[in-house]
Amino acid sequence: MREEILLWRRVDEPGHETARLVYHEPFWQLGGMAVFASDGKACRLEYSIACDAAWRTLHVDVAGWVGSRRIRFHLVASAQRGWQLDGRPCPDVAGCLDVDLSFSPATNLLPIRRLALQPGQSAPVRAAWVSFPGFGIEPLDQVYRRVSETSYHYEAADGTFATDFEVNAAGFVTRYPGRWEAEQAPVVRV
């Protein structure tokens, strides 16, 4: 079994997140928990994401709360890339290969691992984006450009958001400017 674990701290509001990536042949499992404040509300969100060997998202579970509001949903992608939310079709995100949880830096790892870009290369990504705090599911066209061995440029394809972030050898974001930074504790590899 291969395993990677990382701990982040929020830099814009109080909070932490930890994520664990494990390979259980033939699947990758990314699980984690984010505990943070948002607009004066305490938030606790736990997630579990399964991907196939090619890093295509298969299913996503999210549970927790934002203030007094309970959150729980289950997303499933079929082999034909049709998506369902709690058993209901989500035709708007049909064809998406990745999920992007907007409250977490962990899901950037999915297209990074799937694309395996070399420095100087870029690629478009269309992700099933889970908004925060509304938890709507919609398509989000993105572009990932690998700047160096440890950095990427990310932008929403419509130009509304762009940032540069740093990653470790596993593909986990280690510095997401203005939002998340990896704690100094070392990444655990088993």
22-37 pLDDT tens trace = 998 899 999 999 999 9
pTM of the prediction? 0.93
39-80 pLDDT tens trace = 999 999 999 999 999 999 999 999 999 999 999 999 999 999
The domain ranges of the chain are 2-189
**Cα gap 135→133, rounded to integer Å:** 6
